[in-house]
Chains A and B, each alone.
Chain A
């Protein structure tokens, strides 16, 4: 999916067209593989295996959306989200929580940290997730 940036140089209106960048932070290789495969035709995908790696990739590469797992090694998803929200750029970034934990307190924490969506993986079709990301990036 394409993103569009419009800016003026003197009298000239410039259109910068680019592919939306999505960061997938997921420790389970088969999920990473499936999501990358499904999403890479529409989005520029970058991947991270844990919270720490995810945080530094996010802050360096400024993706348009982050798909974030909760149960992650090194730094869990909610802590990573808290860190991210401390950053000026990270404050506003769209985050979709994608997890198999159905813990009410985790959900509350995530929403408090401004997660846009909280999806239970096993309840969602991979196509639904793709559709949701499209909607969020429109």
Chain B
């Protein structure tokens, strides 16, 4: 055991002589000294170690905080990536700041990408409620920095002034509580400058005087600069879109003006400038309004329904609905005008757009077309009328007595000529209906009497065809209903004459029935004629279409009557349909048919009026 040997040695030394003891004591002292030194070193090391450990702890805290900050930055970047609206971006940034520093209040103002105008609103985002005093101070802070940031020289309207005088506050989070008397003791303002353009200003304030340490400031700048990069990306996207739109608007053949909530013009394309003959210089809505007022072709408008352009703009903004002016006569031109309100982020009206569509050429073509139709029909009718009148005079013996055969031949001429007149009238009517120029003027009338009169008129024709027309009246007589007599006569007349012409039985009966079904009056016309074969039922209302069995039965006919009838009924808000369940073609020798029933329904409120220009030719 070496240890015990050592001790033994020491003990033996003490027991030995004094001479040898001094040397030993010296060396022992040395050793003790060494040991003390070592102890001190150890202590130093322990302290150092402890210090290191403490440092590590501190670092870990900082690291954790850094992680949290990174998290915030990351999630902010993600959120920003999803958003294209400056407003949303700003509310996200302020949210992130609040996540890190829940005690602060964030206030910001924003300017749209394409202008240096701030929207006149201060957005406040805070987890706490703030009082009047607080808000006043932070707007002072905003205003102060607005007047010192060099980028703001470009501002068109003095943002500083409105922040000081007429600020409107909108709370993103938190609320106003005027019982709170706290005021901000420290604040920082960060302009949001996306290369070259100021898009906003953020103010972060705290009730704590020493809140904004270097570290906090650094963090806030990091957050905001991250956002600025995102905004820059978005701005590029938007400006690409904007310039695409801009060039589209520039090249449009329609005049386009867009204006903001203060009725300042934001966009005006060359077309609108050429319309109001102001190709250069600043353009205001008033310039446009006064041009429209001075150059309105007054004798072409109806004073009762006229809407001026300024009225239209006013109406669009107050009702937030698009206003449509069908025809605005301006000088020698005609414009169709749309005024549309444009909404901001908060669904508030942020201005509007005026679109001018030049319809001068359309009007001219329309005029030429109707003139052509009118002249053509006039030109066609003149010789036909001459033929008819002279035939009539010959028939009447005005040029001497005729023999039977001569009369017979004249009958043929007369029939042909009369058919031609009818065809011309039909063509004219089709043209009127198709161009929507048909005038429908309903007047209250007793349907019963109206139908009875038509049936009475057709009695002669029915007798010639060996048919009888039976009228089934409703049990209780119906109240008067507003109908356009000329038009409705044409429809009912057509239905009954068809029933007579296409009847097959030797003594057939045509039943005309008037009844009420809920909100409609129904006039039905049933016959026992040739019917309408299944395969052509879908085509029967087509213009100029005639079913084969109809051609076979009656050579005469243009195939236009039902087309016109359906158009008239539908234009006036009713319906016209038919049933012909068991119809078949008439084969030679086969005279029986199962007939067809036409149902004409009119709303009990009567025919819809239509302010067209033309009435129908009535034959």
Bits for B605-619, please: 1 = Cβ < 8 Å to A, else 0: 000000011110111
> Is A104 a contact of B439 with CB atoms below 8 Å?
yes
| Cβ-defined partner of B392 (8 Å) among A100, A107, A123, A127 | A127
Q: In the complex, what distance in Å separates the CA atom of A112 from the CA atom of B362?
A: 30
What is the minimal beta-carbon distance from B489 to any residue of chain A, in angstroms? 14
Q: Residue on B with the closest CB to A30?
A: B386
Q: Which residues of B contact A101 (CB under 8 A)?
A: 374, 378
Q: Which residues of A contact B615 (CB under 8 A)?
A: 102, 104, 107
The residues in A between 76 and 130 inclusive whose CB is less than 8 angstroms from any CB of B are: 100-105, 107, 120-123, 125-127
| Cβ-defined partner of A100 (8 Å) among B385, B390, B614, B618 | B385
Bits for B146-182, please: 1 = Cβ < 8 Å to A, else 0: 0000000000000000000000000000000000000
What is the interface size of chain B, counting residues whose CB is below 8 A from a CB of the partner?
27
> Is B398 a contact of A38 with CB atoms below 8 Å?
yes
Q: Residue on B with the closest CB to A105?
A: B613
Q: In the complex, what distance in Å separates the CA atom of A31 from the CA atom of B378?
A: 14
The residues in B between 95 and 145 inclusive whose CB is less than 8 angstroms from any CB of A are: none
The residues in B between 383 and 397 inclusive whose CB is less than 8 angstroms from any CB of A are: 384-386, 388-390, 392-393, 396
> Is B617 a contact of A31 with CB atoms below 8 Å?
no
Q: Which residues of B contact A104 (CB under 8 A)?
A: 439, 612-615
Q: In the complex, what distance in Å separates the CA atom of A107 from the CA atom of B615?
A: 10
> Is B398 a contact of A122 with CB atoms below 8 Å?
no
Known contacts A125-B388, A127-B392; decide if A120 and B617 are in contact (CB<8 Å): yes
Q: Which residues of B contact A120 (CB under 8 A)?
A: 617
> Is A31 a contact of B385 with CB atoms below 8 Å?
yes
Interface presence of A42 (CB below 8 A):
no
Main secondary structure of the interface of A (DSSP, over half): helix
Q: Which residues of B contact A100 (CB under 8 A)?
A: 377-378, 381-382, 385
Interface presence of B532 (CB below 8 A):
no
Q: Which residues of A contact B619 (CB under 8 A)?
A: 123
> Is A37 a contact of B388 with CB atoms below 8 Å?
no
Q: Which residues of B contact A17 (CB under 8 A)?
A: none
What is the minimal beta-carbon distance from A70 to any residue of chain B, in angstroms? 10
What is the minimal beta-carbon distance from A78 to any residue of chain B, in angstroms? 15
> Is B389 a contact of A71 with CB atoms below 8 Å?
no
Interface presence of A53 (CB below 8 A):
no
| Cβ-defined partner of B385 (8 Å) among A102, A105, A121 | A121
Q: In the complex, what distance in Å separates the CA atom of A101 from the CA atom of B381?
A: 9
Interface presence of B540 (CB below 8 A):
no
Q: Residue on A with the closest CB to B617?
A: A102
Interface presence of A34 (CB below 8 A):
yes
Q: Which residues of A contact B220 (CB under 8 A)?
A: none
> Is A122 a contact of B614 with CB atoms below 8 Å?
no
> Is A31 a contact of B386 with CB atoms below 8 Å?
yes
What is the minimal beta-carbon distance from B212 to any residue of chain A, in angstroms? 80
Interface presence of B428 (CB below 8 A):
yes
What is the minimal beta-carbon distance from B132 to any residue of chain A, in angstroms? 69
Interface centre among A37, A102, A120 (most CB of B within 10 A): A102
> Is A127 a contact of B614 with CB atoms below 8 Å?
no
> Is A103 a contact of B374 with CB atoms below 8 Å?
yes
Q: Residue on B with the closest CB to A106?
A: B374
What is the interface size of chain A, counting residues whose CB is below 8 A from a CB of the partner?
21
Q: Residue on A with the closest CB to B379?
A: A100
> Is A34 a contact of B389 with CB atoms below 8 Å?
yes
Interface presence of B228 (CB below 8 A):
no
Interface presence of B330 (CB below 8 A):
no
Interface centre among B381, B393, B398, B619 (most CB of A within 10 A): B381
Q: Residue on B with the closest CB to A102?
A: B617
Q: Residue on A with the closest CB to B418?
A: A122
Bits for B62-89, please: 1 = Cβ < 8 Å to A, else 0: 0000000000000000000000000000
Q: In the complex, what distance in Å separates the CA atom of A1 from the CA atom of B372?
A: 41
Bits for A2-33, please: 1 = Cβ < 8 Å to B, else 0: 00000000000000000000000000101100
> Is B392 a contact of A122 with CB atoms below 8 Å?
no
What is the minimal beta-carbon distance from A31 to any residue of chain B, in angstroms? 7
What is the minimal beta-carbon distance from A42 to any residue of chain B, in angstroms? 13
What is the minimal beta-carbon distance from A65 to any residue of chain B, in angstroms? 19
Q: In the complex, what distance in Å separates the CA atom of A30 from the CA atom of B374?
A: 21
> Is B381 a contact of A121 with CB atoms below 8 Å?
yes
Q: In the complex, what distance in Å separates the CA atom of A107 from the CA atom of B618?
A: 14
Q: Which residues of A contact B613 (CB under 8 A)?
A: 104-105
The residues in B between 439 and 483 inclusive whose CB is less than 8 angstroms from any CB of A are: 439
Q: Which residues of B contact A31 (CB under 8 A)?
A: 382, 385-386, 389
Q: Which residues of A contact B384 (CB under 8 A)?
A: 122
> Is B388 a contact of A122 with CB atoms below 8 Å?
yes
* Sample of 22 A–B contacts (CB below 8 Å): A31-B385, A34-B386, A34-B393, A37-B393, A100-B377, A100-B385, A102-B615, A103-B374, A103-B614, A104-B613, A104-B615, A121-B381, A121-B382, A122-B381, A122-B385, A122-B388, A122-B425, A123-B425, A123-B618, A123-B619, A125-B388, A127-B396
- Further 13 A-B residue pairs, CB within 8 A, beyond A102-B428, A104-B439, A125-B389: A34-B393, A37-B398, A38-B393, A100-B378, A122-B381, A122-B425, A123-B421, A123-B425, A125-B388, A126-B388, A126-B389, A126-B392, A127-B392
Q: State the A residues within 8 Å of B (CB).
A: 28, 30-31, 34, 37-38, 71, 100-105, 107, 120-123, 125-127
The 7 residue pairs across chains A and B that have the minimum distance between CB atoms: A122-B381, A100-B381, A126-B389, A104-B614, A30-B386, A122-B385, A121-B385
Q: State the B residues within 8 Å of A (CB).
A: 374, 377-378, 381-382, 384-386, 388-390, 392-393, 396, 398, 421, 424-425, 428, 439, 612-615, 617-619
